[in-house]
Amino acid sequence: MLISASSELTEVKTRIRPKALNIGDTVGLCASAGASHDLAEVDGFISVLQGHGFLVKEGKNIRKKLGYFSASDQERATEFMAFILDTNVKAIFFTRGGWGCARILEFLDFDAIRNNPKIIMGFSDICSLLNAITVKTGLTTFHGPNGNASWNEFSWKSIEDLIVKSTVVKYPFPSLDLVEAKPETLVSGKATGELFGGNLTVMTGLLGSTYLPDWAGKILFFEDVLEEPYSIDRMLTQWKLNGVFDKVSGIILCQFRKCVPEEPEWSFTLNEVFQQHFKSLKIPVFSGFALGHVKNKYSVPIGEEVTMDADRFTLQLKEEAVIHENH
């Protein structure tokens, strides 16, 4: 039986880091959100993980379908918690995003997650799970690709540096031919703070809940896909009306893939929306960071202290985000 998370739980400030992932470790593969549209995609992801030297344990729901979910809320929560409690599983990855993680948050046992720290990595809809876990437990989680995303050389190197080699990662701006949206400084400067964020649509759905942090002093990042500029505008306005932009130390706008107007003559461009919302802020803001629903993407740690440079379009960790056994 699952233990329901109390709505009275507050943000945990003590940082917990999981152990680094070693070659030969077992990765648990979850379907905490949407159903896989093509099971060959699941098999392909398993092959990718095995090719990098990991063992894979399949969750009970990764080959199931229930509407646009893989399974019921309780079943998806049970699958996730089973991997949390499985001492043989050293990391939890996800088949895909879609929608559904916010619906299972109330069924998670955050005490058990805190007491069994391990690498949890995903993005898109999974970011609600990542941010909630970091807020409620203090455990560093990882915004990185799901199984239906690109695990190419660029993306894998970022994952490897972050959770396998355990380096104090620096994120330089990559070659311009590797990114879709070019970088732009909206407000000059540097800022340091704990990193939180993810998909703008998904994160907006958590506003007003206890699953997001106190934004004072945080570095906030957003990415999105297939949203028109007016929709992006509406969501950013909600964040502004909630006072978040007055509290954070800096903002990073990542890759917003295919976020173009259907009727350009009746719309602002995405860049114009960004200018309207961020140009007048007194904190550093830049766009075009290599993260999101794109081929070449960085993986970043949720909850870790970072320094951003809006003029050089860079990000740098203060410390390693995972620990090695011999540390």
Q: Which residues are catalytic?
A: 124, 223, 293
- Spatial separation of the C-alpha atoms in residues 89 and 105, rounded to whole Å: 21
Mark residue 24 as left, alpha or beta (left: phi above 0; alpha: psi -120 to 50; beta: remaining): left
3-state helix, strand, coil in the chain (%, to 5): 30, 25, 45
- Spatial separation of the C-alpha atoms in residues 3 and 10, rounded to whole Å: 17
* Amino acid at the residue 80: F
Phi and psi angles of residue 287, each rounded to the nearest 5 degrees, phi first: -120, 165
- Spatial separation of the C-alpha atoms in residues 150 and 169, rounded to whole Å: 20
DSSP per residue, 212-233: S---TT-EEEEEEES--HHHHH
